[in-house]
Structure 1
Amino acid sequence: MALFRNIFYLILPVILALNAEATTTVDPNLRVDCAPRPGDHKSDCEHRGCIWDDNYDQYRPTTPLCYFPTATGYTVKSEADSKLTLAKYTTGAKNPYGTDFDELELSYKSIGKAIKVSISPKPSYKVPKRSDSFGLNASHFKSIPFAIPFRFIPPVPVDESQIQSDDQLAFTYKNDTVFSFAVQRHDFSKYTTWTMLSYDHHTDAVNPNGLNYYGVHPFYMALEPSGKAHGVLIFNSNAQEVTTGPGPHLTYRTIGGQLDIYFFPGPTPEQVLQQYQQLLGKPYLPAYWALNWGGFPAYVDQLHNQGMRLILLFDPAVEVDDGPFQRGIEQIAFDGIWIDMNEPSNFGTNEDHPDYASFIDHPYVEPLKCPTAGDDAYLEMPPYITNGLYERETQYLCSKTLCMVGKTGRDTYNFYDTRNLYGWSETVATSEALKRSTGKRGAVISRSTFVGSGRHGGHWLGDNTATWEDLKAAIIGVQEFNLFGIPYVGADVCGFMGATTEELCIRWQQLGAFHSFYRNHNDINMPPQDPANWPSVAAVTKAANLFRYQILPYFYSLHFRASLLGGSVVRPVYYEFPMDFETHTLSHQFMLGPAIMVVPVTSPNVDSVRGYLPGGVTWYSITQAHQYGGSIIPRQKPAVTTTLSRKNPFELLVALNNVGEAQGELFWDDGESVVDKIETYNYLRFQFSVKANEQSINLDITCTVNCQLIGQNKMTLPTLDTIEILGYGYPTRYMTSGMAYDADKQIFRVDSPGFLNFNKNGPAWKIVLNKKPEPAANPTETLPTKTPSNGLSRISISWQIMLIAISFAVSPILCRKS
């Protein structure tokens, strides 16, 4: 039936060119599996016209024994404008699980800086996401130079020979590194299948098996040794999987739906992500308070009185007219919504003896039964149900969820087609409901996600385990979900399942402080693991949170920039240093924006960690991390809540580069208003620039967006009280009151209450710190301020002697790597 037609093999940056005539053997590193379903035998293989390899290689046990001959699939028949007609090879192998079309039509067009490739005849189902959910309009459709499909032109050329067999795409790569299919970094040294099916299954970092868990993101980024990157999105919402092989190549399979393929040319990794988000929508902006330390008890009134916030958790099965639910909504003033179990999960489906039947504290509920015979049975038991379900030892697609014959979209679609969309759809509705019900931005966190979910909410990585392997998996997971366009993401620190240890909890608290979503969560049956359970964990957690809360202006600015311009918050090191080949394999250290390098401890019983600092730049050791020379981090003195922290004076942590310069920025708003249109939204953007030499330090601060809000008293800001400059290597004896210099650490510091008032004399300020050969006669002289007619405030200061304590949260040591 038509449901199981439409598999297409597309060859991308080509190593393997398929011949016009079938051959009896194919290099074991380049084979495309003709029998991915467990249990197929030699007779099944040969009946399809595929090749069976009797010579099992014990050194390559994952190599397919049954594989397609080379003259299989489709070749170009004709070309006109932006369309190609593909004709099926008449001598090729049969489709293992259905029938092939005699001809296919392939069309392509530019969408912004992306290329969209569509394959027809189109099936009856396509992903039901409106064009406005992609954030596209006419201005995005502009012609740009790019590789035309089926031509050998970089950066993503496509081979002229094609294979077609039901719901399958094969990509062959010159690169040896691919990131982010199925929420994993993938090793091409062996054949491995990675599933993409939303499923309620906790992560298993100790014994990874290729299974994904709660969401589906059929998008990957490929990075070449040269540092150039490109991305590919296969836009499909059915059950699907990808097999990576040592060619290197990968094979993509889906059991239904339309195949729309988007190519993103980059060439930098961050540009690939921005192009991807230009198509799908830029990330939503969480409320400022959502960057707090989460997981407090629901003492709602007390929390709100203390400036804290409350997030409520909902499962999809809760009835909207249920009495307790209604009373809770009416009586509890919530600030955010957590949506869980939205794969959607349903226990016991098609099971005769579900596990919950033995739970004495739960009433027995008859399990859901889905059709396994009759006209609708094919939806539960298609010819191929994907490796994700075979590995879970089930024969039904409805396992642990709803029936595939169920209807969604007001009786428009089968659940067979839209299952992977449930979490995305609920996130969209929940985000809108939260804004309407509270009148504020709040925070939405979803367990199940799909392509484009980041435009409406965030994600936590799900039910992890208290192991060091899971800590390392969290590092990779947060980076990957940033690549998927979901920067508001984090893991359950200390681990959810299993008994954690004091040391593991210490290291995880330190790590979690650098993730956007940050909470400690524990299984009800496990020993306590809140920070106060161990004095050492409490002390480390306090220090980590003080550092986190101090850099909240920087952290929030990263999210604001991503929501405005696209991009990531937590990112792999190769995003910032794509030309440095050593960064391509760094999985367990990462960047927080462009300025902070984090090298977490990922092993027990160690008191030091080995990391890699890219050469050619200056790095500074700050508490918990390293700062990139040439960056400026806006900070505030931390308080016990984000509400109180926002009221404290600003600080600037300036890290000079090799030529004595640094830049940074700050986005500022009220932290909670709904952002309908960024063009009319009330926010401020400041640019910082420092140039330092032996004679002076020049700091330029410029308000670049909505500066009139300050003069109209529609937005007020704390004062700038502290400026700390790292790497200033020119010793000085003479300083003005409120300044200090540490010659050993090469830190110059200005610390003066009310030093710069952003609410006066803007929109630009220039601070010049000049050396004097002799101390001034009056060491307590007032700092002169002049306001030129062009609106530029200028503060010129002569240095005089005074000693100041170094900031408690920064202990810089100059690190240089040649």
Structure 2
Amino acid sequence: MDVILQPAPALTWRTIGGILDFYVFLGPDPASVIEQYVEVIGYPAMPIYWALGYHLCRWGYHTSNSTWEVVKSLRNYRIPQDVQWNDIDYMDQFLDFTFDSTKFGTLPDLVKDLHAHDQRYVMILDPGISSVQPDGSYWPYDEGLRRDVFIKDAEGKTLIGKVWPGLTAYPDFSDDVTHEWWHENLQRFHEKVPFDGLWIDMNEPSNFLDGSTNGCPSSSLENPPYTPGILGGLLRAKTVCATAQQKQSIHYNMHSLYGLMEAKASASALKRIVAKRPFVISRSTFPSQGMYSGHWLGDNRSQWKDMYTSIAGILTFNLLGIPLVGADICGFSEEPQEELCVRWTQLGAFYPFTRNHNAIDMKPQDPTAFSPLARTAMKQALLLRYSLYPVLYTLFHHAHVHGHTVARPIMFEFPKDVKTYGIDKQFLWGKSLLVTPVLDPGVDYVDGYFPEGLWYDYYTGDSLHSKGEDLRLHAPLDKINLHLREGSITPTQAPNLTLWVSSGQPLHLVSALSDDGSASGDLFWDDGESIDTYENNLYSYIIFNVTQNVMTSQVLHSNVEATYITVETAAFYGVKQKPSRVLLNSQDAAFTYRANQLTVGELSLLNKGVYHIIKHKYSQCC
């Protein structure tokens, strides 16, 4: 099927088969359309907490010890990192469910060390299973044949293609028997290397051949009367034959579902193995993918244009119900300039899924590979992300329960402002955190659009009243511009080297007051890893509100066993005069005031299902 956007605006559909069921989502606004769409395809899963930390990967670590050295280097510089990954290097001859005992012999020790430091390990896994190992030497293939789990060709024989390990068979994930075989393979490997999550790649499914080692039969399925505009001009180009046979149907009908079904099998297996929320990142996706996995945007380049276009990719997948999405920070192929990598790390700190990944034979591009100035700037960006973890986690809760977007186009919040419709260089986290990254080399400023209203600099609390206009912002190399929308309350935490440590820190609440002095916000909190905490009432949900100089915190739902959190400090942007007193639950509280910003400290408020009140009182003046 081709779907082509016309300038009219209109869509031209060209399809060569299938049943078309049309769903029309009436909105009335863009956000409502997405909520209605996600209600149909399935709500995205709530991610495990460490999924939202900083991930580091590369193709070309070559050994487990060199992987380990990078982890230690980040620790030495006190740069946050939650997850270390390995690409196909770790495998023995690129065979799934193996590791190279010569070059990666210390991999189990590396994973043990990661776990001892509250960090996690993720490895790549391709669907292609080597078909040429000696009989009895490779359990995944031998057992797969015995259980009949592989896709067959038109004649009913195991279809053989070619991927990294050479000639391979392809598991048929439309069959429940395959899911059980997949789980047992993962379980057996987990006993050797206790990995925490899976990166499923090459699952279009990808093939270095066109169709199979024997080609594909000539038929109307392989050579339809119209071929959509696809790579190679053939349905079988760099994938398996359209006539290949799967349990549920021929591959012609199943092709686009392959990655989705593999993600479903992988998420199900991980739940059984680790008994926690599964973490899966998939290259191939399909509607409802967000229920089982996140996504990365594929092999990009280390160029400024690729950094810029990643924003549209992130926003698009949020519209598609797959909010856990990111691009390879600093670019995958080619070698990035230091300045590009700094700016990309700043932007990447606001991808919902944050991973730095680069290609084999390229220079290292993790933060420790650059100058002290660049390294410090990247570290600051990552610490900023970690401090905003309560915001991000709460946004993912709303995505999981309500179908909201996490990273959000500005036009979603300002649908009546036509100037927002074409903005693809800025975006929002939720309703109120505006991100304005630098996307060009050699500049210390950035131009950003501010919809009509009152906005506050996140770092300083300085306010700006916009009439709906473009404004030039100061943006030295160590800064990404962030602004808070009026009327919002943002919960933050002191950042640390992992989210496990960060998430135990007390809250600092930042209230960005509207002109009338009001603001509101919320927080979803649980243990970060148990399955279905919301569905099983094992969570706390708190709303914050400011009206008429009084701040209240109301616990709408509390589960003390599953959550423990305190509020330590609160800042109020937009307080127009210095108060004479600040009261906390009717008792005087210490505070500081400067330039429209009030800060109240030493609150030590526990989440106990009661109101906590901060009240400002002003001296009567002449």
TM-score, normalised via structure 2 length: 0.76
Q: Which letter maps to 1:750?
A: V
1:757 and 2:621 equivalent? no
Deviation of the 1:599 alpha carbon: 1.1
Alpha-carbon shift at residue 538 of structure 1 (Å): 1.1
The alignment status of 1:383 with 2:383, answered yes or no, reads no
Q: Counterpart in 2 of 1:400?
A: 238
Which residue pairs with 1:272 in the alignment? 33
- Within the candidate set 491, 499, 521, 2:327 is matched to 491
Matched, 1:317 2:162: no
CA distance change for structure 1 residues 254 and 431 in 2, over 3 Å: closer, same or farther?
A: same
Instruction: Give the alignment of 1:23-62 within 5 angstroms.
Output: none
Provide Cα deviations, 1:662-682, integer angstroms capped at 9, x if missing partner: 000000000000118x44241
Contact 2:488 2:511 in 1 (8 A): yes
Deviation sequence 1:39-93 (CA, Å, 0-9, x none): xxxxxxxxxxxxxxxxxxxxxxxxxxxxxxxxxxxxxxxxxxxxxxxxxxxxxxx
Q: CA deviation at 1:737?
A: 5.9
CA distance in 1, matches of 2:419, 2:262: 41
SS in 2 for 1:617: strand
Query: Secondary structure of 1:277's match?
Result: helix
Task: Mark the structure with the bigger radius of gyration.
Answer: 1
Contact 1:490 1:517 in 2 (8 A): yes
Return the offset for 1:327: 5.6
Out of 244, 249, 261, the position equivalent to 1:425 is: 261
Q: In the superposition, relative to structure 1, how do residues 244 and 438 fare at CA in structure 2: closer, same or farther (>3 Å)?
A: same
Q: Which deviates more from structure 2 when the two are superposed, residues 639-648 or residues 525-534?
A: 525-534
C-alpha change, 1:766 and 1:263, in structure 2 (3 Å) is: same
Question: Are the equivalent residues in 1 in contact too, given 2:488–2:520 (CA < 8 A)?
Answer: yes
Aligned residues: 495
Q: Which letter does structure 2 place at the counterpart of 1:380?
A: E
Counterpart of 1:690? 546
Which residues in structure 2 correspond to 1:598-677 (within 5 Å)? 598-622=435-459, 624-675=481-532
The answer for the alignment partner of 2:419 in structure 1 is 582
Asked whether the 8 Å contact 2:526–2:563 carries over to 1, the reply is: no
C-alpha deviation, 1:469, in angstroms: 1.1
Residue 343 of structure 2: aligned partner: 507
When residues 738 and 306 of structure 1 are mapped into structure 2, their CA distance, relative to the original with a 3 A threshold, is farther
User: CA deviation digits over 1:637-676, x for unaligned, max 9?
Assistant: 1111000001111110111011111000000000000118
Aligned to 1:254: 15
Q: Distance in 2 between matches of 1:437 and 1:307?
A: 19
| Residue identity opposite 2:599 in structure 1 | R
Contact 1:290 1:442 in 2 (8 A): no
How far did 1:339 drift?
Answer: 0.8
Specify which of 179, 203, 206 is matched with residue 342 of structure 1. 203
CA offsets, 1:330-353, max 9 Å, x none? 122222111111101010226xxx
Q: Is the CA contact (8 Å cut-off) linking 1:620 and 1:629 kept in structure 2?
A: no
Matched residue type, 2:126? D
Does the CA-based 8 Å contact 1:349-1:369 persist in structure 2?
no
**Structure 1: how far apart are the matches of 2:249 and 2:420?**
44
8 Å contact kept, 2:34–2:319:
yes
d(CA) in 1 for partners of 2:619, 2:194: 58
Are 2:294 and 1:452 equivalent residues in the alignment? no
Hey, what does 2:378 align to over in structure 1? Answer: 541
Match of 1:741, as an amino acid? Y
One of 270, 283, 308 as aligned partner of 2:119: 308
- 1:435-446 pair list within 5 angstroms: 435-446=271-282
Q: Which amino acid aligns with 1:636?
A: Q
Letter paired with 1:446: S
Q: State the shift of 1:325 in Å.
A: 7.2
Secondary structure of the 1:673 match is coil
Q: Quick one: which amino acid aligns to residue 686 of structure 1?
A: I
8 Å CA contact 2:16, 2:226 repeated in 1: yes
Find the counterpart in structure 1 of residue 270 from structure 2: 434
What residue number does 1:416 align with? Answer: 252
**Pairing 1:12-411 to 2, within 5 Å after superposition:** 240-295=1-56, 296=84, 299-318=110-129, 321-322=139-140, 328-349=189-210, 368-373=213-218, 377-389=219-231, 392=232, 394=233, 396-408=234-246, 410=247
Q: Is the 8 A contact 1:588 1:600 kept in 2?
A: yes
**Hey, what's the Cα distance between the residues in 2 that align with 1:659 and 1:733?**
20
Which runs of 5 or more structure 1 residues have no equivalent in the other structure? Answer: 1-239, 351-366, 775-818
Task: Give 1:499 shift.
Answer: 1.4
Distance in 2 between residues matched to 1:540 and 1:473, nearest whole Å: 22
The Cα of 1:257 is off from its aligned counterpart by 1.1
CA distance in 2, matches of 1:556, 1:621: 19
1:702 and 2:554 matched: yes
> How far apart, in 1, do the equivalents of 2:453 and 2:2 lie?
41
User: Which amino acid letter does the alignment assign opposite residue 755 of structure 1?
Assistant: S
Structure-2 separation of matches of 1:664 and 1:310:
34
Instruction: Report the counterpart of residue 150 of structure 2 in structure 1.
Output: none
Q: Measure, in 2, the Cα distance between the counterparts of 1:773 and 1:444.
A: 59
Q: CA deviation at 1:766?
A: 2.7
Per-residue CA shift, 1:392-432, capped at 9, x if unaligned? 3x4x3111111111112x2x311011101101111112111
Q: Which amino acid aligns with 1:684?
A: S
Secondary structure (helix, strand or coil) at the match of 1:378 reads coil
Give the aligned residue type for 1:725. Answer: F
Give the partner amino acid of 2:617. N
User: Which of residues 613, 617, 622 is equivalent to 1:770?
Assistant: 617
Q: Which has the higher contact order (CA 8 A, sep 6+)?
A: 2
Are residue 747 (structure 1) and residue 508 (structure 2) matched? no
Indicate if the aligned counterparts of 2:206 and 2:239 stay in contact, CA closer than 8 A.
yes
User: Paired residue for 2:401?
Assistant: 564
Q: Distance between the aligned counterparts of 2:526 and 2:119, measured in 1?
A: 18
For 1:578, what is the secondary structure of its paired residue?
A: coil
Paired residue type of 2:368: A
Structure 2, unpaired ranges of 5+ = 57-83, 86-106, 131-137, 142-184, 460-479, 583-587
CA distance in 1, matches of 2:593, 2:456: 19
SS at match of 1:387: coil
Tell whether 2:581 aligns with 1:725: no
Letter in 2 for 1:490: G
Greater helix fraction, Structure 1 or Structure 2: 2
Sort the Cα spacing of 1:431 and 1:594 in 2 relative to 1 into closer, same or farther, 3 A.
same
- Percent of aligned positions with the same letter in both sequences? 39
Hey, what's the Cα distance between the residues in 2 that align with 1:716 and 1:529? Answer: 37
Q: CA RMSD in A?
A: 2.0
Contact 1:656 1:725 in 2 (8 A): yes
Deviation per CA, 1:170-220: give whole Å up to 9, x if none: xxxxxxxxxxxxxxxxxxxxxxxxxxxxxxxxxxxxxxxxxxxxxxxxxxx
Structure 1 CA distance, aligned partners of 2:552 and 2:121? 39
Counterpart in the other structure of 2:74: none
Q: How far 1:313 sits from its partner (Å)?
A: 1.6
Deviation at 1:588? Answer: 1.3
Structure-1 separation of matches of 2:186 and 2:417? 54
Displacement of 1:704: 1.1
- Counterpart CA distance in 2 for 1:757 and 1:722 is 12
Closer, same or farther: CA 681–444 of 1 in aligned 2, 3 Å: farther
Answer yes or no: is the 8 Å Cα contact 2:570–2:600 preserved in 1. yes
Amino acid at match of 1:246: P
* SS, match of residue 374 in structure 2: helix
SS at match of 2:350: coil
